[in-house]
Structures are given as C-alpha cells and as structure tokens.
Structure 1
Amino acid sequence: MDDLSKKNRRTGYIVLGLVLGMSALTASSVELYKLYCKMTGFGGKAEQSETAKSDVILDREIKVRFNTDVSVNLPWEFKADQEPLTLKLGQEAAVSFSATNLGNQGFAGTALYNVDPPAAGVYFHKNQCFCFDYQLIAPKKEAHFPVVFYIDPALDKDPQLKDLKSITLSYSFFKADSPELEKALEDFYNSGNSGTTSVKIK
C-alpha cells in the first residue's frame, strides 16, 4: 500500500506540474508577444513610444481608421467609440474603444492589435494602450479602453509610403487563457511577423 500511495502521489505531482506549466506557458506567451511588439515595429506592429509625444508636427495628413473583432467564444460586443480621424504627422490623438459583456457571467479577454499597411507599423507610436492586458468584464456590463498615439513624422521620408493616405488600427479580443489566444500568438510567430491570424472571428 505504501508503494501504491507513493506512486499515486508522484502521478498527482506530475499532473499538477503539467497544469501549472501550461498555465505559465499561456501567460509567458502573451508577455513574449508584448515584449516583441514593444521592441519592434515590424509586420504591422506599432511601436511603444519612448517619448510622450512628437516634437515635430508636419502638414501632411493621414486618416486613421479603426477596426474591431471578437473571437467567437467570447460573448462580447466590441467597437470603436469614434469615427475615423484625420491627423497630421506627429499630432497626438486620444481615442477609446468599448466592450460589452453580453453573457450571463463574467468573462475575461485579451486584445491583440496590428496596423495596416504593415510597413506603417514602425511609425505608429502608442503612448497608452489596452492590448495584452487581462480585461475582466462583469455580465451585462460595459468597459472603456483608452488609446493614445501619434504617427511619427519620419514616415514622410519613407519612399514606400510616399502615397499613403490612410492607416487602419485593428484590435482583436480573444478569451483570456484560451486555445484561440494561443493560436493567434502562434500564427503571429509562424507568419513571418505579418500581424495576421487565422483564428475565426465574428
């Protein structure tokens, strides 16, 4: 009996270790994705700005559109709170997004984002953002998420963007700690940093 008890305990420890390991992997994947996007602007990933705002504002204007998506297993309604904005390069803007939990219980979500066209991502600086954070919304309640950003005036010197008239900032919410979120992160890493995912959204 003693040997059997030891084996059962050992099996229990192994199972517990696997569960904790998978949970840690999910959390670390989001943090690694966040760190990568903070350090690079490739593949439509906006830069995390080191300064509060640009010291230079140019006359050239860019229209910024907002796109929102929600994973099919997250019962939220998610939308931008404003129409497209037309901004001068270097001009700071503050916008917001709102999400409503349509379910009968609390649900948590995590948002990923990208910028289109991808080449503009390196010039899109976010000073405040809600992406990658664990967002818990009570049933039938609404939450608002602010975003503060500007477009680097250096974009004006990029020859491949000389005819650029508009940029689209997209956010996609996934159920926190879900296989869909993990799949979205995996697709990002495997797509050559294209900033796209194959996860079904509604």
Structure 2
Amino acid sequence: MDPKVQRRNRIIMTSLCGVAFTMGLLAFASVPLYRMFCQVTGYGGTTQVADSVTGQVLDRKVRVRFVANTDAGLPWTFKAEQSEVEVRLGEPALIYFQATSTAKEPTAGQAVYNVTPDKVGLYFSKVECFCFTEQIIQPGETVEFPVYFYVDAAMDAQPNLNDVQTITLSYTFYGQRSKALENAVAAYYRAAAERNG
C-alpha cells in the first residue's frame, strides 16, 4: 500500500478515536457540569445554597407558595404545613414540610426541588433544607422537615424581576435504595423478631 495512503488512514483513525474519546468524556461529565451550571446561574429554577443569611432586608414583599409531591412508587404522604408565606426581600423564613410513611417497613426518599418562575432561581437561597440528604422514615412515622430560606434583596435591582409577586417552591420525593436503607430495614426486622420473641 502507498505510504501516503497509510499515513492518511492513520491520521483519520487517530482523529476518529480522539473524537470518540472526547464525546465519551463529555457524556460522562455532562450531568455534573449541567448541575453546576444550573446552581451558578439559577437556570431551570435551581435555587442557591447559602451558609447563612446575609445582606439587607427591603420593604418589597413577595409571596412564596409551597408545593409537595411524591413519586407514585414511594408510599408516603407529603405536604407543606402551610401553603404560603409572605416575606420581605432579604428576610429569612423558616417553614416545615411533613412526611408520613404508609409502608410496612422503613423506606427512603430524596427530594428534588425547583422554583418558578425560573428566572428567580438565582435569587432564592436555601440555608437549611431536607433535600440535601436521603431521608429514611419508619412505618407509620411522621417526620417534619425544615426549610430555612430567603429571597435575596439583589432581586430588587433586576428590572426583569419587577413583575414577580409570587414564587413557587416545589419539592418531589423519589424513592431511594441505599446501604443505609438496607441497614434500617434489617434493624427493623431484628427489633420486630425480638419483640415477638
């Protein structure tokens, strides 16, 4: 075979392998990169996470509504203890959600969340939220989950947010399988066996 053709074929093969490797790397990294992009920009209603409440409190008020859902496969009832609150921009608020398990053994769930309108996500900050960790609930148990949040006063300086009077914070719990849940189920059945003797 002609050396020029062999060289060209090697270059094409190397280029194709490089493209395939790059596409695989991007596919692997796309979920964490997209999550990071959403957290930085508030895109898609992704809220911000804050270590503490800082900044000024303004007179401008917004109403924050709360929506609670569970995936059909998770045997919990889940609700907000109050349907809405009115807060001033920059003012912290503490509200509670409540979940009750209707299962016959321990179950686990983790919540995903967003705010609407989406454009508010960059200014909605959660200091404490149950959505950051997996939650395990015993059969028949009712658990209260706190959410400590504020709407950043910087929102007031954004002309495209002047029309926002109501913000909706939505949570949906999805069932989880984990080693912690397996341990909780095993402990539950051991305790039941000891009680029955």
Same fold (TM over 0.5): yes
Q: 1:54, CA displacement in angstroms?
A: 2.8
Structure 1 stretch displaced more, 90-99 or 37-46: 37-46
* TM-superposition CA deviations, 1:87-109 (whole Å, max 9, x none): 10000001111100011111100
Distance 1:164 1:149, change over 3 A: same
Distance in 2, Cα, partners of 1:40 & 1:160: 15
Number of aligned residues: 150
Distance 1:173 1:147, change over 3 A: same
* TM-superposition CA deviations, 1:130-185 (whole Å, max 9, x none): 1141111000111111110000111111111111110000000000149xxxxxxx
Is this contact kept in 2: 1:113–1:172, CA < 8 A?
Answer: yes
Distance 1:135 1:41, change over 3 A: same
Partner SS, residue 66 of structure 1: strand
Q: 1:33, CA displacement in angstroms?
A: 7.9
Distance in 2, Cα, partners of 1:108 & 1:31: 23
Number of the residue aligned with 2:105: 105
Partner SS, residue 131 of structure 1: helix
Is this contact kept in 1: 2:40–2:122, CA < 8 A?
Answer: no
Partner SS, residue 104 of structure 2: coil
Is this contact kept in 1: 2:57–2:89, CA < 8 A?
Answer: yes
Number of the residue aligned with 2:120: 120
Is this contact kept in 2: 1:54–1:91, CA < 8 A?
Answer: no
Partner SS, residue 130 of structure 2: coil
| Greater C-alpha Rg | 2
Q: Unaligned stretches of 5+ in structure 2?
A: 1-29, 179-197
Partner SS, residue 155 of structure 2: helix
Structure 1's consecutive aligned runs of 4 or more residues displaced over 3 angstroms after TM superposition are 29-40
Q: Unaligned stretches of 5+ in structure 1?
A: 1-28, 179-202
Aligned amino acid, residue 64 of structure 1: V
Number of the residue aligned with 1:151: 151
Normalising by structure 2, we get a TM-score of: 0.70
Number of the residue aligned with 1:80: 80
Distance in 2, Cα, partners of 1:32 & 1:147: 26
Distance in 1, Cα, partners of 2:59 & 2:163: 15
Partner SS, residue 149 of structure 1: strand
Distance in 2, Cα, partners of 1:32 & 1:111: 20
Q: 1:43, CA displacement in angstroms?
A: 1.3
Number of the residue aligned with 1:66: 66
Distance in 1, Cα, partners of 2:163 & 2:70: 31
Q: 1:128, CA displacement in angstroms?
A: 0.5
Aligned amino acid, residue 167 of structure 2: I
Distance in 1, Cα, partners of 2:88 & 2:35: 27
Distance in 2, Cα, partners of 1:143 & 1:32: 33
Partner SS, residue 154 of structure 1: helix
Partner SS, residue 94 of structure 2: strand
Number of the residue aligned with 1:172: 172
Distance 1:112 1:80, change over 3 A: same
Q: 1:68, CA displacement in angstroms?
A: 0.6
Distance in 1, Cα, partners of 2:83 & 2:97: 11
Distance in 1, Cα, partners of 2:120 & 2:168: 10
Normalising by structure 1, we get a TM-score of: 0.68
Partner SS, residue 172 of structure 1: strand
